[in-house]
Structure 1
């Protein structure tokens, strides 16, 4: 494929602008951008130097004739948009979550397979440098056989962030869709992609949030928190989705004789006392990575019986896109791989709609919260 590939962007917020930058860096021409609000999509198009913009997705597909579409809207808006793009014959790069439930996610995966288009699912924090380093160390036997993984995170999000898609299950909100997807991707990238079993519990600690007009960018929504939360004219929206979760899983590993146990513990509204972290335990050692998404540094516990900080290998450093921001850099990494694959170049496996549809089914199961055993009848 020698001609320049073309991409059409769906979404005008932080993700849409970030996707546009990532595709341009990969040598793809951004031929258009589509959003909900005419004024906002015009402003973003002018800011990013995109000549075509509008609010009609189907019309944009016909006018721009893209090879690829990039989906950067909340998950509840994905199904129709992606369905139209696949039927048009486009390859699809979608941010997480794939959709708002397992049924529609499966439908998109099956449609993509039927139409033989390539797909990428951007639970892309698996490309963090220290996560790649941990994968390399464990594959080389640095901790022996992996036995257990622990993922702990406390975000202390402001309770009064304006009401929006993140508060609504039907719009793709919730911490499972927007945190667990990355965490499961990180762990499976290191341990193995085959998820054997899962159990979980979720909790809505929030209840409600103020309704505020004018919020278009997920990254700047904190700026719109009302100054007076006791204002009697203020309207409130009710949350219907989880803000905390606890999930346990078992994964198959090619270098372990037994399933590897994984604990995912996330409190979206809870303050952290110490560092968030990811730990990989094994029969001969352990790897500790500071930060909820593996920001680093990375420490190795080995025969020395102490935690020793490990420098990043130069090959991992050299292979990282040179852009600011973890989220943005990970988008660039996955987009680079996706574009190479579309061009027919050899690339390492990356996550697709197969993974996105599986994750959405897992989230549906976890949200059922039906794993409790009533023990009140037992003798005390």
Structure 2
């Protein structure tokens, strides 16, 4: 089982964005002893009720007010995608550590600037919240590939499926175009799958061939907006039909480094699938399968030996994965624990003086994901293979 998570004098945090994912950040930070000292949302009036529910003592009016607060050492960006760049840049320049929700920004022009800026501030941690890496069995898969258990990696395949946008009345700001790639399902959940696939295999996605589909060319937007994952507009609020330019579904063929191949699909209109990531890695010596709906189980396949189902248990995990598994076998670790483990890696790195190689997703990882998305958007338009730009 992993070492106790005791942090020494961690920086206080300002949370930017109090919507669906903001409270998850607040809970995870509280679990490792990091204080969320303030909240910034669209307006102070919107922020105050959420701050009271989360026990956050201060509400800010502007990002400038956040960054001028000498008590704040780090910011967590859980704001809409189109303002990530502005907030991350300002926070780094103000001397704050930054942990940003994905995507890091909406274009590689912006992400490359953030990567360069982070490099100029080596004593500030700069990470992206690809938390799915921190499921213990995802770490176990990474360790097994790294030590050669699967031999040469041949393929990585899978999917990420949800049903929260199945109905024409389902609406959220995420369905609106970002003015750049205008990707939604790929950028929202597909980047999680791609980050995990690259982390586990140690291979980079180099070339893509994509097919995208929008099954609802129009959706009914509630007057006043709707929250994420609240289901259809069951209260029958007044709504207006709006044209949809972002995709509900995407399928992508992949060429990865070292000759590996892959394919995955994403679908946000898959009835009954609430939030399922499925990933399979195949090598010359065997294969592995992980399904986020059964996160405590890892399927291990062999040609000349019996297949196995491995339970998450720190007593039998590799040392690397065991460090990110804090409960005994049979005591499930899931989505909130993955957030906690990412935050623990991030703030331990800060506690150690930001020295060495970060063991969390960095701005460089976030930049690569945006470049892959740009290649996918270009591929879907060209209906052919496109290289991921370096």
Q: Shorter chain as normaliser: what TM range?
A: 0.7 to 0.9
CA contact (8 A) 2:92 2:118 kept: yes
User: Runs of 4+ in structure 1 displaced over 6 angstroms?
Assistant: 322-325
In the TM superposition, 1:209-288 aligns within 5 A as 209-213=219-223, 217-219=227-229, 221-222=230-231, 225-228=233-236, 234-252=239-257, 258-271=258-271, 277-288=278-289
- Aligned CA distance change for structure 1 residues 2 and 155 (closer, same or farther; 3 Å): closer
Query: d(CA) in 2 for partners of 1:214 and 1:43?
Result: 18
Which residue in the other structure is 1:63 paired with?
Answer: 69
CA contact (8 A) 1:102 1:361 kept: yes
Q: Tell me the TM-score normalised to structure 2 length.
A: 0.83
Q: Give the aligned CA root-mean-square deviation in angstroms.
A: 3.0
In the TM superposition, 1:343-354 aligns within 5 A as 343-344=351-352, 349-354=359-364
Which residue in the other structure is 2:371 paired with?
Answer: 361
CA contact (8 A) 1:340 1:347 kept: no
Identify the range of structure 1 (305-314 vs 127-136) with the bigger mean alpha-carbon deviation.
305-314
SS at match of 1:198: strand
CA contact (8 A) 1:160 1:225 kept: no
Query: d(CA) in 2 for partners of 1:79 and 1:161?
Result: 31
Q: Tell me the TM-score normalised to structure 1 length.
A: 0.85
Query: d(CA) in 1 for partners of 2:183 and 2:254?
Result: 22
CA contact (8 A) 1:30 1:50 kept: yes
CA contact (8 A) 1:124 1:185 kept: no
In the TM superposition, 1:135-154 aligns within 5 A as 135-154=142-161
Which residue in the other structure is 2:196 paired with?
Answer: 186
CA contact (8 A) 1:153 1:266 kept: yes
Which residue in the other structure is 1:376 paired with?
Answer: none
CA contact (8 A) 2:342 2:360 kept: yes
Deviation at 1:161, TM superposition (A): 5.1
SS at match of 2:76: strand
Query: d(CA) in 2 for partners of 1:356 and 1:302?
Result: 34
Deviation at 1:215, TM superposition (A): 5.3
Q: Paired residue for 1:164, among 161, 172, 189?
A: 172
Alpha-carbon displacement from aligned partner over 1:215-242 (angstroms, at most 9, x marks no partner): 57424x21x61455xx9x5312322212
- Aligned CA distance change for structure 1 residues 64 and 282 (closer, same or farther; 3 Å): same
Query: d(CA) in 2 for partners of 1:119 and 1:36?
Result: 24
Deviation at 1:36, TM superposition (A): 0.5
Alpha-carbon displacement from aligned partner over 1:37-71 (angstroms, at most 9, x marks no partner): 33320001111111110331111221354111000
Which residue in the other structure is 1:102 paired with?
Answer: 108
Deviation at 1:352, TM superposition (A): 0.8
Paired residues in the alignment total: 362
Query: d(CA) in 2 for partners of 1:84 and 1:318?
Result: 33
